[in-house]
Structure 1
Amino acid sequence: MKQLTICIFFLWSALFISCKKGNNTDKPSTKQYTISGTVKDAAGNPVQNARIRVENPNGNNIHYTATSNEVGKYSIAVSAIGGYKIYAWKETTFENQTYQIRLGMEKDTDYDAFSVPPSGVTKNFVWKLTGRIPDRVASKENGTGYFGGTIKFINYNSFVEQMPAGTEVAITLTPLANTKFIDGTPANGKILVRKFAIINGVGQAYYLNDIPAAKYRITASASLNGVVRYADIGSGNPNELTISAEHYFKAEAGAGSYESGLASPNEYPFYLAVWWD
């Protein structure tokens, strides 16, 4: 009986050790082939409910998705293959419109394709209001390739001659009282002044790129041969001019793109007129 008891004990012990060893070997690590990181705004605050997408364009439409939690963290388990690229968007509401805003990354190299080691990799996102989007082609005419928006001005109106070549135009963008940038940070007092010079020839359109999205009051002035005049502005119409105009960047149509999420400047241009006499 004693021998039987000893045999049962050793048999049970061997089975226990075997099961324990099997669990350690067969259960995959929660960190294996995992992409994780944080999503924050420009002030370093966590961004919740950002949409993360990992894709492999050469892998037969292989992609994975996740959403950042209340502290701005996300984690995505992927397969061991390489060639991944990662993107993030934040859905937000501004001026009663819904936007799908493309989020930025900490370093330009983070936009490149990458492989995921067994130990995992970290990719952090930042909600950027301005700057180049490294993986997009910049086009000043279409406003692409920038996190900020683009405004289009046209040297034309229905009342006076176009401004001559050499005229320097100054555009002042003043955030409206109590307005905020599209990421929710205060815009009060953050006035922008951008300038451009009138040139000869056709194509009298001028673009101000990479402007942080907010609601602005636009005023303009023109300087030629030491003479400075205020410019009138036509908001989308060369036949109706005022001394100033209000503007905000409308949402790009659709569920989101790899661009900024702001509409093209060509949809709503501003016309300029100067009375020199």
Structure 2
Amino acid sequence: MKKLATVFLLLNVLLASCSDDDNRPTPDAAQPGKPYTVSGTVKDGSGNPISNARIRIENPNGNNIHYTTTSNNAGQYSITVSAIGGYKIYAWKEATTENATYQVRLGMESNSDYDAFNVPASGVTKNFVWKLNGRIPDRVVSNENGSGYFGGTVKFINYNSFSDQMAPGTEVTITLTPAAGAKFLDGTSAAGRTVEKRFTIVDGVGQAYYINDIPATQYTITATCRKDGSNKLVYIGAGNPDAFTPNAEYYFRPESGSGSYESGLGSPNEHYFYMRMMSN
């Protein structure tokens, strides 16, 4: 009987030990308030907190390893992750205008913040800021697709149905003037923020020209050109080589879908402009 009692006692100790091991968190377990936490702030260009921004942490090399959260009213967020390395972090903010709803990619404080990183046991800080223009360091620049910049891209085509194309060497100046009362996607006023871009006509078959990294808002577009010391007006055809006007109204359309790692603005190939040099 004493031996049997001893066996039961040992079994109870073993069972209790197994139960404790089952409930004990593993070193990589994601526990709120525990180590391996990524936290930071989300602010606009003036330093004001941004609430309800979406933050996503992912491991591109993992088996769909990702974590998501949103910023609070103070613009703060915190996510506890596993100790696995190689994370990348992104943030988006939904912006609604009278024209459309955008899923805007938010920027970071320094270029190195866009790189993959490990999360130490002590945690790491990653802060976001809403950028209206500038390079997106972790994206490849493509003028043709309007990618690689926080700002938008506009496409112009050197063709019309009435006269010859502008000759190679002609310098074209595009002026984008914000419409009255226009605001950027972050809600700040666009008044007085006129954008001027230039490109030079080249020889060859491809006569599409792109101006990029323009803060998204509603603009009035005008154009002029200069060749051999002579200045000319350039009329604009909004998606039509048969109908030209001295100016054109334009706003940047949103990218289709729920957002991507680009700016959130649509491709310049969806809405573009033809050019016609006037004799004046």
Task: Please report the TM-score for the alignment, with normalisation by the length of structure 2.
Answer: 0.87
Q: RMSD over aligned Cα, in angstroms?
A: 1.3
Matching of residue 77 in structure 1 with residue 95 in structure 2: no
* CA distance, structure 2, for counterparts of residue 196 and residue 29 of structure 1: 53
Residue 152 (structure 1) aligns with: 155
Which residue among 177, 190, 195 is the counterpart of 1:187? Answer: 190
* Rounded Cα–Cα distance in structure 2 between residues aligned with 1:252 and 1:99: 7
Alignment match, 1:52: 55
Structure 1 residue identity aligned to 2:39: S
Matches within 5 A, 1:203-218: 203-218=206-221
User: Is the contact made by 1:171 and 1:193 (CA closer than 8 Å) also made in structure 2?
Assistant: yes
Q: Work out the CA distance in 1 between the residues paired with 2:71 and 2:269.
A: 34
How far residue 94 of structure 1 moved from its aligned partner, in angstroms, is 2.0
In the alignment, what sits opposite 1:234? 237
Match of 2:114 among 111, 114, 121: 111
Deviation, structure 1 residue 276: 2.7
Look up the match of 2:202.
199
Distance 1:250 1:159 in 2: 29
The residue that corresponds to 1:134 in the other structure is 137
SS at match of 1:110: helix
2-side partners of 1:155 and 1:228: how far apart? 17
SS at match of 2:234: strand
Task: Map Cα deviations across residues 165-213 of structure 1 (whole Å, 9 max, x no partner).
Answer: 1111100110011111111111001111111111111110100010010
Whether contact under 8 Å (2:155, 2:272) holds in the other structure is yes
Structure 1 residue ranges (4+ consecutive) displaced by more than 4 angstroms after TM superposition: none
For the Cα contact (< 8 Å) 1:143–1:150, is it kept in 2?
yes
Structure 1 gaps of 5+ residues are 1-25
What is the Cα deviation at residue 275 of structure 1?
A: 2.2
Contiguous gaps of at least 5 residues in structure 2: 1-26
CA distance in 2, matches of 1:109, 1:226: 45
Which amino acid in structure 1 is aligned with residue 261 of structure 2? Y
**Counterpart position of 2:276:** 273
Alignment length, in residue pairs?
251
1:266 is paired with a residue of what secondary structure? coil
Partner of 1:263: 266
Cα distance in 2 for partners of 1:197, 1:207 equals 11
> Does residue 1:95 correspond to 2:92, yes or no?
no
Whether 1:178 aligns to 2:199 is no
Q: Distance in 2 between matches of 1:232 and 1:271?
A: 8
Distance 2:223 2:58 in 1: 45
After TM superposition, the score normalised by the length of structure 1 is 0.88
State the identity %.
66
How much has 1:29 moved relative to structure 2? 7.7
Determine the structure 2 residue equivalent to 1:34. Answer: 37
Given that 1:31 and 1:119 are in contact with CA atoms closer than 8 Å, whether structure 2 keeps it comes out as no
